[in-house]
Amino acid sequence: MRLAAVTFDFWSTLVDGTVTPERTAQRMSQLHAAIVGAGHAITPEQLKAAFDFSLERVTSAARESLEDVGPPGRWAELARELGIPEGLIPYEVVEKAYEDITLEPLPSAMPHVHVAVKAMRERGYRLGVICNTGMAGGRVLREVLRRHGLLEYFDVTVFSNEFGVSKPHPSIFAHALAQLGEARPEHALHVGDVEELDVEGARRAGLWSALYVPAATPPAVEDGVVTDADLVVRDWRNFGDQIDRFVMPVDDR
């Protein structure tokens, strides 16, 4: 493989996306406070049930088209499910709540990810982020990267809520490569932690792919990994050496 560009997934690849019961409860509590504070009375239980139902409806609707309605569309679906009159609670109220939820406390960077990103930059590759978003959109997630000192490494950051289409659709990969100076798919590698979105998505778009499976993954899960990825990454500290063994430089990058 000849390489000019490397793109990374965001959640659980660059930044820890582990969803714990404690973090879920915190998110529901802060969102509940924002909605009640804006003038609509609901119980926490009603919010949780409506949130789960509306999320499944949005997800189901997007399975075929892979269209991303973005945080405003997700909020509109949740508001309808809660019976909130249109316009009673502006999206900006919920947006602020989700910004607070995402940034405080700040989710951790994945172990040693700075080593990997710095290694790619030192080797002269053009770097990008390709990320599917939920209630927190690209603006907030760029701030997460900035606070971790990672944003400066990336030439391009592509988030599905801004582009309008999610992984694994080939167009979001093509868009990122176009922004990376028209990098050719066969000279690009995408790395992420989800087989369907990152590995299959990259393959459909003509890119090489790497599956990130952290060394901390329980052995039973790790040993059972089946992937079509061209490369499996266990530890970010080894990523630079793995790439060196795997690629040839592209003269025109």
> SS3 string of 73-132?
HHHHHHHHHHCCCCCCCCHHHHHHHHHHHHHCCCCCECCCHHHHHHHHHHCCCEEEEEEC
- Residues 51, 161: one domain? no
- Alpha-carbon Rg for the chain, nearest whole angstrom, is 19
Strands 156-159 and 2-3: unpaired
- Residues 47, 94: one domain? yes
C-alpha triplet 215, 221, 224: angle, nearest 5°: 110
pLDDT digits (tens, 9 = 90+) for 63-103: 778 888 888 888 888 999 999 888 788 888 888 888 888 89
- What is the domain extent for residue 113? 2-17+107-249
pLDDT digits (tens, 9 = 90+) for 187-240: 999 999 999 999 999 999 999 999 999 876 654 444 556 899 999 999 999 999
- Residues 11, 53: one domain? no
Last residue of a domain, one of 62, 84, 103: 103
Last residue of a domain, one of 53, 68, 103: 103
- Residues 66, 160: one domain? no
**Residue 126 banded pLDDT, cuts 50, 70, 90:** very high
- Residues 134, 92: one domain? no
- Residues 48, 155: one domain? no
Last residue of a domain, one of 103, 129, 157: 103
pLDDT digits (tens, 9 = 90+) for 32-55: 988 898 888 999 999 999 999 988
* Average confidence score pLDDT of the chain: 89
- Residues 50, 117: one domain? no
Domain count within the chain? 2
